[in-house]
Amino acid sequence: MTQTIADRRDIDFVLFEQFEADSLIKSEKYADFTKKMLDMIITEARSFALKEFLPTYKEGDREGVRLENGAVTVPECYRRAHKLYQEGEWLALTQSPEYGGQGLPHVIAQAVFEYLIGSNYTLTMYGILACGSGKLIELYGSQKIKDLFLQNVYSGKWGGTMLLTEPQAGSDLGSITTQAVSNGDGTYSLKGNKIFISNGDQNLTENIIHPVLARIQGAPAGTRGISLFLVPKFWVNDDGSIGEFNHITCTGIEEKMGLHGSPTCSMSMGEKGLCRGYLLGEENKGMAGMFQMMNDVRLEVGTQSFAHASAAYLYAVDYATQRLQGRKLGDTDLNAPQVPIVHHPDVRRMLMSMKAYVEGMRSFTYYVALCFDKAACAETDAQKQHYTGLIDILTPVVKSYCSEKGFDVCVQAMQVFGGYGYTKDYPIEQILRDCKICSIYEGSNGIQAMDFLGRKLGMNNGQVFLSLSLEIEKTIAMAKTHDPLFTMAQKLGQAMETFKETALLIARLASSKNFDTAFLYAHPLMEVTGDLVMAWMLLWRATVAITRTADKKQASFYQGQIKSAEYFIHAMIPITLGKMESIKNCNDAAISIREDAFAG
């Protein structure tokens, strides 16, 4: 089996031909980098992922995690790889060099994460969560907290998590009951229970840092009364040394469908002793910190699913070109030799669909990462607001759309393998299991859709939505200047007009007394948005590729970009138009049906 995981040629195409990411090094923020350095980082990431992370993928899944005597043990094979993960400084890629980060552009880090996640997401996640908790410290912590924690967290010496969910609250964070009481010395005592905490306990790092959402005694009800705290597993003394156990304990680990190398924990604070934490930011402003983290996390989840899809697709291509089965369609010679299944039309249909989605998702996730960089390098407030707006409107889409389409690609890859794909002899069944969680956690896709319709669509009086539409229309106009792309561009342009009509209709309905009917169609509308962003990305790729098809050595690659756009716009956008017709019908059967009619 191939061990490609990600397509380096396509990565380079997206980075340096489609998005011209090397132009970022002209900015003051990224002036210390050169194009050669960026290339080298991606090359080393590929080598590291294939040599050190990929061999642990299957073994870590089989061994899993264990909870014994209140302590969690992770797969033993992770120990060496995690140590090298730290030593290679692969964790804090985009974080500030002041605290041990690499200061890389987000879009370059995206390529690194594609390899790391694609080779073993559960192992990569130990670093991702540590850096996520570190980012909250960097943004909201006092200088004392930064000095005590950041270097150790960004280096991977200490792990990190995020404690949000509670049994009675689920995604309704306004209902959390974890309590915090001031100790009068700048610390707070915390007591409560959290569930579904990824890497809540583990034996890879000497300490674990837990950002925790809790309610200070006497705080207002709902989300207005939630504060954010930093709670270490072991207390950190003022001189930076590790102190006593802080009584935050894993009380159980979930038996999951996938991600067996990552412990998903139930956590208890303050049940058998004092559990202390520091306030991050202002009292009752904890949700602001959580939302700050969410844009990064939503992109990361979209990347997780896309990376699984990329690996599954490449495994499927490799298998389809080697697996002999059946005669070529139309061959009547019963003695004719078997042909690789890649010759069969239905297999080619699946491979073509996977190719288009994987390439489109690569461009989509990299584009959102590039918007982070463009916002950071903006020279004017208007530029910054433009890219920040694009991030805001696209993050719920990149999370939800990629998590669903990435899983669909994994399903198609298993179908290409046939019965073998359903066995543990090949990696597809594990990739499929690991990928499914993406549509569920970090805000299920239904919640993302509510955010998209309820908050993002009308942001700044609709100006952010208009900015996104204008960006897409720029690419359509560019494509129309190339005769072979004209029809594709025209079809996408027509679909965009229908999309704007559909979005306006649902937005108005959401502001009416029939808002519940509007929210029936929040997820379909967000899926349609994803389809159109996908077509945009693929058409953008085609406009770049069409100017390079004379390159005989790479003609197949560039022609392949045009074919991906052709397939998606001609085969998938008509389905999208049907989805929009369904949305505009606004049928309310799911609302008007009696509750007791759902089941006999």
Residues belonging to the active site: 442
Taking residue 224's Cβ as centre, other Cβ atoms within 10 Å add up to: 11
How far is it, in rounded angstroms, from Cα 339 to Cα 467? 50
- 264-269/179-182 β-pairing: unpaired
How far is it, in rounded angstroms, from Cα 478 to Cα 489? 9
How far is it, in rounded angstroms, from Cα 105 to Cα 24? 8
Residues 6+ apart with CB under 8 A from 159: 126, 129, 130, 199, 202, 204, 205, 207, 208, 209
Residue 122 sits at the vertex; the CA angle it makes with 257 and 59, to the nearest 5 degrees, is 80
DSSP-based three-state secondary structure for 121? helix
- 187-198/248-253 β-pairing: unpaired
Sign of CA dihedral 55, 58, 62, 68: positive
- 158-160/207-216 β-pairing: parallel
Between the alpha carbon of residue 317 and those of residues 7, 185, 323, 347, 416, the distances in Å are: 12, 61, 10, 10, 9
How far is it, in rounded angstroms, from Cα 9 to Cα 14? 9
How far is it, in rounded angstroms, from Cα 544 to Cα 562? 9
Q: What are phi and psi of 350, to 5 degrees?
A: -65, -45
Closest CA to 131 of 105, 102, 108: 102
Closest CA to 120 of 221, 237, 322, 258: 258
How far is it, in rounded angstroms, from Cα 232 to Cα 528? 43
Q: Mark residue 256 as left, alpha or beta (left: phi above 0; alpha: psi -120 to 50; beta: remaining).
A: beta
Taking residue 395's Cβ as centre, other Cβ atoms within 10 Å add up to: 24
Query: Which helix or strand (DSSP H or E) is residue 144 part of?
Result: helix 143-155
How far is it, in rounded angstroms, from Cα 218 to Cα 401? 40
